[in-house]
Amino acid sequence: MIRVIVVDDQQVVREGLEALLGLVDDVEVVATAANGQEVLDKLDGVDVVLMDLRMPVMDGVEATRHITAHHPGTAVIVLTTYADDESIVSALQAGARGYLTKDAGRKEIAAAIRSAAAGHSTFDATVSERLVAALTAPPKPVDGLTARETEVLGLIGAGLSNQEIAGRLFIGEATVKTHINNAFAKIGARNRAEAVRYALRHGLTSTT
List the domains of the chain with CATH numbers: 2-129 (3.40.50.2300), 135-201 (1.10.10.10)
pLDDT tens digit string along 167-206?
989 899 999 999 999 999 999 999 998 998 898 888 775 4
Instruction: Quote the pLDDT of residue 135.
Output: 53
What phi and psi values does residue 114 have, to the nearest 5 degrees? -65, -40
Report whether pLDDT(46) > 80: yes
Q: What angle do CA 192, 182, 114 make, to 5 degrees?
A: 20
Is the separation of the CB atoms in 151 and 141 below 8 Å?
no
Q: Any long-range contacts for 181-186 (C-beta under 8 Å, 24+ apart)?
A: 182/146, 182/149, 183/145, 183/149, 183/150, 183/152, 183/153, 186/143, 186/144, 186/145, 186/149
- Alpha carbon 38 to its chain centroid, in Å, reads 22
Instruction: Residue 75: name the closest of 100, 105, 101, 102 by CA.
Output: 100
Report whether pLDDT(207) > 50: no
What phi and psi values does residue 146 have, to the nearest 5 degrees? -75, 170
What pairing do the DSSP bridges indicate for beta strands 27-33 and 48-51? unpaired
Report whether pLDDT(85) > 90: no
Instruction: Quote the pLDDT of residue 208.
Output: 39
Instruction: Quote the pLDDT of residue 140.
Output: 53
DSSP 25-81: TTEEEEEEESSHHHHTTS-TT--EEEE-SS-SSS-HHHHHHHHHHH-TTSEEEEEES
Average pLDDT of the residues in 124-134:
71
Percent of the chain exceeding pLDDT 90 equals: 66
As to burial, measured by CB atoms within 10 angstroms (0-12 exposed, 13-18 middle, 19+ buried), residue 19 is exposed
Distances (CA, A) of 207 to 68, 135, 136, 137, 169: 31, 7, 6, 6, 10
Instruction: Quote the pLDDT of residue 166.
Output: 92
Instruction: Quote the pLDDT of residue 133.
Output: 63
Instruction: Quote the pLDDT of residue 206.
Output: 45
| Rounded CA separation 25/13 (Å) | 20
Instruction: Quote the pLDDT of residue 20.
Output: 94
Instruction: Quote the pLDDT of residue 44.
Output: 92
